[in-house]
Amino acid sequence: MPLPADFTDLEPYADWALATEPERYAKRLASSMADMQALYDAAFPRLDDAIAYCDTFPWDDLPDEARTLMHLMQSLVMVSFPVEVWKQARVPDAGAAYLDLVSGHVV
């Protein structure tokens, strides 16, 4: 799915525009620090613009291009701790532990 016209500079990172948290986490674990740093360096300066753009639409009716941009920015969040703090894709000192977030409707 394409990005909005004002965000075509982020097209090289469109493969990070993943719809679910498990997909974004798997992408993070499968990516090099150089790849995550490149996404971070390109997307972080555009974050405020991306939020402002997405805020021009109702959240329950985002156009496809805005939704793609939102997913890309969610991946930016996913790589921010590895880039800024840990300097590695995995959570330090967590061993082989991982957590799958499962949600559903409670009746």
| Tens-place pLDDT, residues 18-35 | 999 999 999 998 999 999
Q: What was the pLDDT predicted at 100?
A: 60
Q: What was the pLDDT predicted at 9?
A: 97
pLDDT confidence band for 89 (50 / 70 / 90): confident
Question: What's the pTM value of the predicted model, to 2 decimals?
Answer: 0.83
Euclidean distance between CA atoms 52 and 74, whole angstroms: 15
Q: What was the pLDDT predicted at 107?
A: 47
81 to each of 19, 34, 40, 73, how far by Cα in Å? 20, 14, 10, 14
